[in-house]
Amino acid sequence: MFKAMLMTLLAGAMILGTAGAIEQPVPAAAASAFKDVSVSHWAYQAINDAVSKGYLKGDGSGKFRPNDPVTRAEFAAILARVSTNENAGGAAAFSDLTGHWSEEEVSEAAGKGFFSPADYANGFKPGTPLTRVEMAKWMASGLAARDGEYKQAIEDTKDTIVPVTEYYKGGLNKADYPYVSVMLGTGLMSGYPDDSFGGGKTTTRAEVAVIIQRYETTQTKAPKAFKGLNELREVGTTGTNHLSVTSYVDPPNEHTLQSILNKNTSLRNGAGKIKVHHYIFLGGTSAKQPGSIYGRMFADKETLFLDDSYLVFIDSSVSPLTDSFSLAHYSNGMTSFLQGGIRVYGQGPTKFGYKTLPNDGSKFFVKGKETRFWSYSVVPRYVTHGDSVLRNIVADDGSYGGIILRK
């Protein structure tokens, strides 16, 4: 009945990478004359732009090699060229770069804050293809060296939810969360079509030509200019993104986000305890325009967006204190309409690997064991305290079914 009531309410109510630089220079005028880059190439304009500015170079034989993976030396040289950071000085000592074509520019990139010799204690290994997670760390570190607010953004996103499949399925180290978050939040890098980040993969020189255009612009902007990064920072520090994506105002009673976030609360039926870890709002109008960097995690083409309500996704954990704890115990026991909802439908749980409520309650909850999961509900977009009233929807069996804004 709980599911039916809320569903009734609902019914009514790229990948981009990095840039490379091969040692032999090619005059800017020859940028459009590479044998292996036709006018119809998808990155033609970006390659032309990067070569004309001296950021990227060819191989000296008239080829650009757009499909080759970018190496550490190439990307370090590119960052040294495009970055407007001040060089802190002091030559970076990499024993395996003596006499290498990239020695000076790698040292300059290190001086500008993109990495340090300590990161490569066993040698820089200049010919090694650069992984995407290395690329993310380098660029985020370079931004942080330029602007202290980016350094704070890295700190703020250490415990955020990263909207890529590796966050729940594995494949992304926690230490890499902030660097990947800064890339996703600024749009410098994005996920693959399957919503993975692919941290261990490499990036082609053509893809690099595109990303370096973005870096050139991004380095001139403050972190607050990027809505996605604002969200990731807010979630990392408060557990919710509502200030970044909505105009939601807590109703004038005890049902507030602050009263439930990260609070262990006893269910009113005494059957257990509940804690809300994260509260994610989608402030958009469709799966294509979800209004949140987290849209990809929770919404698909079958998700119903409402004109007068925000879709919300709730990361909760329940600790049952009674045998045979069921969905009815959960739904009947909530003390606030903000504490939970129904299962998350669509492809999100399978694609991203997070747990959601089952269709039935069998064997999902176990007495004495904390069970963590995501649920789905709605909250009104507009709350005026004069002519509108928040009304709880409660099913005949007493289970909670959501809220409705009655005008």
Residue 339 to residue 261: CA distance in whole angstroms: 9
Other CB atoms within 10 Å distance of the CB of residue 100: 16
Q: What is the pLDDT of residue 17?
A: 35
Do residues 76 and 83 lie in contact, with contact meaning Cβ atoms separated by under 8 Å? no
User: Phi/psi at 367 (nearest 5 deg)?
Assistant: -55, 130
pLDDT for 383: 55
Residues 6+ positions from 179 with CB-CB distance below 8 Å: 133, 136, 137, 140, 141, 154
DSSP string for residues in 159-215: TSPP-STHHHHS-S-GGGHHHHHHHHHHTSS---TTS---TTSB-BHHHHHHHHHHH
Q: What pLDDT, on the 0 to 100 scale, is given for residue 258? A: 87
Could you write out the DSSP letters of every residue in 81-131? HH--PPP--S----GGGTT-TTHHHHHHHHHTTS--GGGGTT---TTSBPB
Tokens of 267: 């269910």
Stretch (H or E) spanning 149: helix 148-156
- Return the SS3 of 269: coil
Dump the DSSP string for 321-341.
Answer: -STT--HHHHHHH-SSTTS--
CB 25 within 8 A of CB 143: no
pLDDT at 26: 41
**d(C-alpha 5, C-alpha 9), whole Å:** 6
Cα-based torsion angle of the residue sequence 53, 55, 56, 61 in order, rounded to the nearest 10 degrees = 60
Prediction pTM value:
0.86
Residues, the chain = 407
Residue 387 has a pLDDT of 41
Is 290 within 8 Å of 282 (Cβ atoms)? yes
Q: How far apart are CA 354 and CA 165, in angstroms?
A: 9
pLDDT of residue 1: 43
The CA distance from 407 to 392, in Å, is 14
* Confidence (pLDDT) at 252: 66
Both tokens of residue 210? 């595109």
For residue range 188-243, list pLDDT tens digits in order. Answer: 999 999 999 999 999 999 999 999 999 999 999 999 999 999 999 999 999 999 99
Which residues in the chain land under pLDDT 50? Answer: 1-31, 385-407
Answer left, alpha or beta for residue 310, where phi above 0 means left and psi between -120 and 50 means alpha: beta
Count the helices and strands in the chain (H runs, E runs). Answer: 15, 6
Bridge partners (DSSP) of residue 316 are 276, 373
Domain coordinates in residue numbering, the chain? 43-70+129-234, 239-405
